[in-house]
């Protein structure tokens, strides 16, 4: 079946370093992608999105890269802070998709002091 997945269930980084969280998707019809952050006990929170007609989009300390050739999405967090510790999900919306978002399984980002 078609799915959106993440390469690593857990990523540990040193505070102050840059973090890169990866996501692979299999549906070439997907044209909209979102990264969500979920802290313990809370609902997913929007971080950044990107449409399929873009390769890169930047926000505050975050950058999303989209490689449609290999169906790969990544989230880069600059100068990782303790507050960045959370589970990060990528999600895709398929073209004409009326059935909500398809989520990956999530990567738990752990910040080492």
Partner 1 sequence: DADVTQTPRNRITKTGKRIMLECSQTKGHDRMYWYRQDPGLGLRLIYYSFDVKDINKGEISDGYSVSRQAQAKFSLSLESAIPNQTALYFCATSDFIGETQYFGPGTRLLVL
Binding site for partner 1 (CB under 8 A): 9, 31-32, 34, 36, 41-46, 49, 89, 91, 93, 97-106
Q: Decide whether 49 or 113 has the Cβ nearer to partner 1.
A: 49
Checking DSSP bridges between strand 72-77 and strand 19-25, what pairing results, if any?
A: antiparallel
Least distance from partner 1 to the Cβ atom of residue 18, Å: 25
Strand segments, DSSP code E, in 1-113 are 4-6, 10-14, 19-25, 30-38, 45-51, 56-58, 62-67, 72-77, 86-94, 102-103, 107-112
Q: How far is CA 31 from the centre of its chain?
A: 15
Least distance from partner 1 to the Cβ atom of residue 56, Å: 19
Least distance from partner 1 to the Cβ atom of residue 40, Å: 11
Least distance from partner 1 to the Cβ atom of residue 99, Å: 6
Q: Decide whether 46 or 79 has the Cβ nearer to partner 1.
A: 46
Please state, in angstroms and rounded to a whole number, the distance separating the CA atoms of residues 62 and 12.
17
Q: Decide whether 79 or 110 has the Cβ nearer to partner 1.
A: 110
Q: Decide whether 34 or 111 has the Cβ nearer to partner 1.
A: 34
Sign of CA dihedral 39, 43, 47, 50: positive
């Amino acid at each position: 079946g078609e799915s959106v997945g993440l390469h690593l269930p857990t990523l540990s980084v040193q505070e102050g370093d840059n973090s890169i969280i990866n996501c692979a998707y299999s549906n070439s019809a997907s044209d909209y992608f979102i990264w969500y952050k979920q802290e313990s006990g809370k609902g997913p929170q929007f971080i950044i999105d990107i449409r399929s007609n873009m390769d890169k989009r930047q926000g505050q300390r975050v950058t999303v890269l989209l490689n449609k050739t290999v169906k790969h999405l990544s989230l880069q967090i600059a100068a990782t802070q303790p507050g960045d510790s959370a589970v990060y999900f990528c999600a895709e919306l398929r073209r004409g998709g009326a059935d909500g978002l398809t989520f990956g399984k999530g990567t738990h980002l752990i910040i080492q002091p």
